[in-house]
Amino acid sequence: MCVKAIHSTRIFNSTLDSVIKKLNIRGDVSLKLKQIVGYAVDVALLAGSLKGLKEIFHKLQNKATLVGLSINEDKTKYMQIKRMGTGDISHLNIDNFAFENVKNFNYLVSILNADNKMNIEIAERIAKGNKAYHANAKLIKSTFLKKNTKMIIHKMMKRPVVTYSSETWTLTIEENNVRIFERQILREIFGPVYIDNVWRIQNNMQIDKLIEGADIA
């Protein structure tokens, strides 16, 4: 059963890829007002207008129908993103389809939202980073591991969880929340310092010096 499932998935992915290639509307979104992007079974239609969106939908639907593929109305969502404010809250009606309008949508483990802001995505990534930290907390707190080893663990098992898809983030005030998250872990790794007969946690400047300015953001 497993072999058949894998074989079936490969056929589906190959067929879908051939359909999208025949449409010939993939490319740089900054150069094209209409675009199809996809990874595996996740396909997104991007357009600068409602008319353009319906146009590429019909093209995709027609090509897909020829090879036996169909549109799943329940799993397909519609989102309108504007620079200021939220988009129209009504559903998107195309022919006999009525696609649900959503304000937030999870695409390839990244959260997109109609406000075109990154606060929800960054908060979600920090939450996942906290889970990764607690899953490896014993290693970070271990007295048997050297600090360099703990830093390797942090950079390989925690930081990537938080910075996943960060290349697409816009520079906002939420970026500081990512730094705060990492500094908490770094203070755990490097420990306190003994100054004037008192043990103190290391401040931001001391932490930055220890990592030579290579912070998470």
pLDDT digits (tens, 9 = 90+) for 130-150: 999 899 889 888 889 999 999
25 and 99 share a domain?
yes
18 and 89 share a domain?
yes
Give how many domains the chain has, as a whole number.
2
Task: Please tell me the predicted confidence (pLDDT) of residue 6.
Answer: 44
Last residue within a domain, chosen from 91, 113, 135: 113
Last residue within a domain, chosen from 113, 145, 165: 113
129 and 50 share a domain?
no
- Determine, yes or no, domain membership for 62: yes
- Determine, yes or no, domain membership for 175: yes
Q: Range of 67's domain? A: 2-113
Task: Please tell me the predicted confidence (pLDDT) of residue 146.
Answer: 92
- Determine, yes or no, domain membership for 48: yes
| Residue range 153-208, pLDDT digits in tens | 988 888 888 888 777 777 666 778 888 889 999 999 998 888 888 888 888 888 88
In angstroms, rounded to a whole number, what is the distance separating the alpha carbons of residues 120 and 104? Answer: 9
140 and 173 share a domain?
yes
Is it the case that residue 125 has pLDDT exceeding 80? yes
- Determine, yes or no, domain membership for 70: yes
Last residue within a domain, chosen from 95, 113, 131: 113
88 and 180 share a domain?
no
108 and 128 share a domain?
no
- Determine, yes or no, domain membership for 215: no
In angstroms, rounded to a whole number, what is the distance separating the alpha carbons of residues 15 and 66? Answer: 11
Task: Please tell me the predicted confidence (pLDDT) of residue 173.
Answer: 63
pLDDT category at 2 given cuts 50, 70, 90 is very low
172 and 103 share a domain?
no
Taking the whole predicted model, whether its pTM rises above 0.85 is answered as no
13 and 94 share a domain?
yes
